[in-house]
Chains A and B, each alone.
Chain A
Amino acid sequence: MNLTFNNQLLRKSQSLIALFLLCLLIALLSDKFLTTSNLWNVLRQISVNVCIAVGMTLVVLMAGIDLSVGSVLAFSGAICAGLIKFGFAFESLDLFVGFTVLGGILGAMLVGLLLGLFNGWVITRFVVPPFVATLAMLTIARGLTMLYTKGIPISNLGPGLEFIGSGWLLGIPVPVWISLIVVLVFVFISRKTAFGRYIYAIGGNEKAAFLSGININRIKLAVYGLAGMLAAIGGVLVTARLNSAQPNAGMTYELDAIAAVVIGGTSLSGGVGSVTGTVIGAAIIGVLNNGLVLLNVSPFWQQVAKGVVILLAVIIDKMNRKEA
């Protein structure tokens, strides 16, 4: 018991140590890194990936994957912008509904939730592998975004939404507040609730979880729904940040989210990992992106560097698990 506890502690702290070393290295190479304005930039820039990656963590903990989050982000962001700017018209009823900023955000979250639930429904009802089901959603949601926006950005969405993207509250940028709340809520859910324990149980051994009476399909449905909703929150943040919904927003964001999850020590085979680990993983990616630009490293090398970091993280993780 004591031994496993120590191992867990080591596993948890190892990504934290990696983050610390990376920060140290960049701080030694650039005196601009450890300034408050730069650190706020890093935190604000990772807030979108944190939201998506928290959802991805729950999915991966069940040994699933969600490739659709980048497209769901784009579609919900566009819905948020469209509802705020144009409202929604029920033509058959000759009824027009205008939306406040909050209404637009809730609408976007609902859309994200529905797309996520659809993923979950396809995966559980038709036993389609999550990789395939969410790959299909990746192109469906991107297509829906194109249909809704006609391929053209929706811009100038007013000061309310702009505040959410660029404003400050009690000395902290609003997007950082939002991602902080998301993290706290999901740390609580994953650690302290029965729902959270069921997620780990399904990822650890699906058959055993089923035999012990867990309604696996319902849990899966809920987790994919939540992942979609969190992607939608990311979509609101990106849209608010630019005060504009871009039809090509969120391209390859699913890969950054998966990278954050994996670097944070969550096993792709499920059952092992944590939301806090993912936050550290997202921070490592964010600091790396920031440092490479601060040091004006060539864009070609940046891609190589990011790949090498992901590889190192996974290899160290594997070696650790063998020792344990």
Chain B
Amino acid sequence: MINGLTVPVTFNILSNMKKSILYLIILLGLAACSSGGSGSEETKKVAVVISTLNNPWFVVLAESAAENARELGYEAKIFDSQNNPATESDNFENLIASGFDAILFNPTDADGSIVNIMKAKAAEVPVFCMDREVNADDAATSQILSDNYSGCVEIGIEFVKALDGRGKYVELLGLVGDNNTWARSGGFHSVVDEFPGLEMVAQQSADFDRNRAMEVMETILQAQPDIDAVFCGNDAMAMGAYQALQGAGKADAVKVFGFDGAADVIEKIGEGKIVATGMQYPKVMARTAAEYAHEYFNGRREFPQRVPVEVELVDAGNVDQYQE
């Protein structure tokens, strides 16, 4: 850990002496301030910085992270980055300045968020990533990640089985600028593309949005009335696609697959109307991150860099375990 901190600083000094010395002074000043400010007697403050609150899944992640931190006896506050790395950067600056002691972090961007974590690291505030990863091994204290790619490999296997390796299908992508979209699509295609009998007749984006998915699916059904299956990059889109199929009277003929484990899709799997989804565990990730922060405050410094939280396949065979 100590090595990890000094290496980039020395590198900076070599590359730009004056600027780095200034930076070092500011950095030491800040570090002194923050350790002086947060005396051991006071309640520690935990910040939950979340990529967006405009999606129920992330609301669950943010709120359970904050709740877990409170249950462990800390103050907790949620910051919304509105899917914007610049807003995220402001959030980090503000929370570092106002003396937060740890950050439970859901990054907006795998590369763009690294610089924000480095700011916190410079101020000796530990960062625990949740759900989404950043492409750096020496930035966050630990990353507790949902494995979107492997989760969708599982979905792909189930997909091939359900279709017996033959048929026409449609893929609804999420936001095309979001790395989860491509991790999920990539995992799915790594399996499905091995089967030449499976033909993708349309691949369109529906922005992870239920209404958009319904509209796009309605239109696709005009061009491709004889499809056998739909794979959707999240459950909101799976619900929208299902509603479009239902409206066209094709809900029984077309197999729908989602991803996330949203309550309404679980219900539809129970009724036999949607085939499968990948259950992600936002609450498990949030709890693990909060517990890690707790252990950090109690002196633990060695954490695994990546903690994968498995995505579980939910289908008709095991859906009863997930219904409340």
Contact of A251 among B201, B209, B264 (CB under 8 A): B209
Cβ B59 vs Cβ A150 within 8 A: yes
Complex CA distance for A300 and B209, rounded to whole angstroms? 17
**Chain B, residue nearest A290 (CB):** B219
Which stretch from A31-39, A100-108, A206-214, A215-223 is at the chain B interface? A31-39
Q: Contacts A35-B222, A37-B222, A166-B247 given: A241-B56 contact, CB under 8 Å? A: no
Q: Does A196 contact B (CB under 8 A)?
A: no
Size band of the interface chain B makes with A: 20 to 34
Cβ B210 vs Cβ A242 within 8 A: yes
Complex CA distance for A30 and B219, rounded to whole angstroms? 12
A13: which B residues are within 8 A, CB to CB?
A: none
Smallest CB–CB gap between A117 and chain B, Å?
26
Cβ A146 vs Cβ B247 within 8 A: no
Cβ A293 vs Cβ B219 within 8 A: yes
Q: Does A124 contact B (CB under 8 A)?
A: no
Which stretch from A16-24, A125-133, A151-159, A309-317 is at the chain B interface? A151-159
Smallest CB–CB gap between B266 and chain A, Å?
13
Cβ B223 vs Cβ A249 within 8 A: no
Smallest CB–CB gap between B240 and chain A, Å?
7
Contact of A293 among B59, B204, B239 (CB under 8 A): B204
Q: Does B198 contact A (CB under 8 A)?
A: no
Cβ A247 vs Cβ B54 within 8 A: yes
Q: Does A244 contact B (CB under 8 A)?
A: yes
B211: which A residues are within 8 A, CB to CB?
A: 238, 241-242, 246, 249
Contact of A30 among B53, B176, B210, B223 (CB under 8 A): B223
Cβ B223 vs Cβ A242 within 8 A: no
A296: which B residues are within 8 A, CB to CB?
A: 201-204, 223
Cβ B222 vs Cβ A248 within 8 A: no
Complex CA distance for A45 and B218, rounded to whole angstroms? 10
Query: Which B196-241 residues have a C-beta within 8 angstroms of A?
Result: 201-205, 209-211, 214-216, 218-220, 222-223, 236, 239-240
**Chain A, residue nearest B200 (CB):** A296
A299: which B residues are within 8 A, CB to CB?
A: 173, 176, 204-205
**Chain A, residue nearest B59 (CB):** A151
**What is the count of residue pairs linking A and B with beta-carbon distances less than 8 angstroms?**
81
Smallest CB–CB gap between B163 and chain A, Å?
20
**Chain A, residue nearest B217 (CB):** A293
Complex CA distance for A166 and B201, rounded to whole angstroms? 27
**Chain B, residue nearest A296 (CB):** B202
**Chain A, residue nearest B219 (CB):** A293
Cβ A41 vs Cβ B218 within 8 A: yes
**Chain B, residue nearest A155 (CB):** B264
B240: which A residues are within 8 A, CB to CB?
A: 242
Cβ B56 vs Cβ A153 within 8 A: yes
Query: Residue among A33, A241, A299 with the most chain B CB within 10 A?
Result: A299
Complex CA distance for A304 and B186, rounded to whole angstroms? 24
Q: Does B55 contact A (CB under 8 A)?
A: yes
A243: which B residues are within 8 A, CB to CB?
A: 243
B220: which A residues are within 8 A, CB to CB?
A: 293-294
Smallest CB–CB gap between B248 and chain A, Å?
8
B215: which A residues are within 8 A, CB to CB?
A: 41, 45, 289
Complex CA distance for A45 and B204, rounded to whole angstroms? 17
Cβ B210 vs Cβ A246 within 8 A: yes
Query: Residue among B59, B209, B218, B222 with the most chain A CB within 10 A?
Result: B222
Complex CA distance for A142 and B82, rounded to whole angstroms? 12
Complex CA distance for A296 and B169, rounded to whole angstroms? 13
Cβ A38 vs Cβ B222 within 8 A: yes
Cβ A248 vs Cβ B55 within 8 A: yes
Query: Which B109-131 residues have a C-beta within 8 angstroms of A?
Result: none
**Chain A, residue nearest B209 (CB):** A248
B239: which A residues are within 8 A, CB to CB?
A: 242, 244
B203: which A residues are within 8 A, CB to CB?
A: 296
Task: Type the 1/0 row for A253-294, where 1 means its CB is closer than 8 Å to any CB of B.
Answer: 000000000000000000000000000000000000110011
Task: Type the 1/0 row for A217-243, where 1 means its CB is closer than 8 Å to any CB of B.
Answer: 000000000000000000000100111
Complex CA distance for A35 and B173, rounded to whole angstroms? 26
Smallest CB–CB gap between A17 and chain B, Å?
24
B214: which A residues are within 8 A, CB to CB?
A: 241-242
**Chain A, residue nearest B205 (CB):** A299
Smallest CB–CB gap between B231 and chain A, Å?
15
Cβ B176 vs Cβ A41 within 8 A: no
Complex CA distance for A254 and B218, rounded to whole angstroms? 23
Cβ A242 vs Cβ B243 within 8 A: yes
Cβ A244 vs Cβ B222 within 8 A: no
A238: which B residues are within 8 A, CB to CB?
A: 211
Complex CA distance for A146 and B52, rounded to whole angstroms? 12
Query: Which B266-295 residues have a C-beta within 8 angstroms of A?
Result: none
Complex CA distance for A45 and B211, rounded to whole angstroms? 10
Smallest CB–CB gap between A134 and chain B, Å?
18
A37: which B residues are within 8 A, CB to CB?
A: 222
Complex CA distance for A113 and B174, rounded to whole angstroms? 33
Complex CA distance for A299 and B60, rounded to whole angstroms? 29
Query: Which A97-146 residues have a C-beta within 8 angstroms of B?
Result: 142, 146
Pairs A-B, 4 closest by C-beta atoms: A151-B59, A299-B205, A38-B222, A293-B219
Give 14 A-B pairs besides A146-B53, A289-B215, A293-B216 with Cβ atoms closer than 8 angstroms: A38-B222, A41-B222, A142-B54, A151-B60, A153-B264, A242-B243, A244-B210, A244-B239, A247-B56, A294-B219, A299-B173, A299-B204, A299-B205, A300-B176
- 10 A-B pairs in the complex with CB atoms less than 8 angstroms apart: A45-B215, A146-B53, A150-B59, A151-B59, A241-B211, A242-B240, A244-B239, A248-B54, A293-B220, A294-B219
User: Which A residues fall within an 8 A CB radius of B?
Assistant: 30, 32-33, 35, 37-38, 41, 45, 142, 146, 150-153, 155, 166, 238, 241-244, 246-249, 251, 289-290, 293-296, 299-300, 302
User: Which B residues fall within an 8 A CB radius of A?
Assistant: 53-56, 59-60, 173, 176, 201-205, 209-211, 214-216, 218-220, 222-223, 236, 239-240, 243, 247, 264
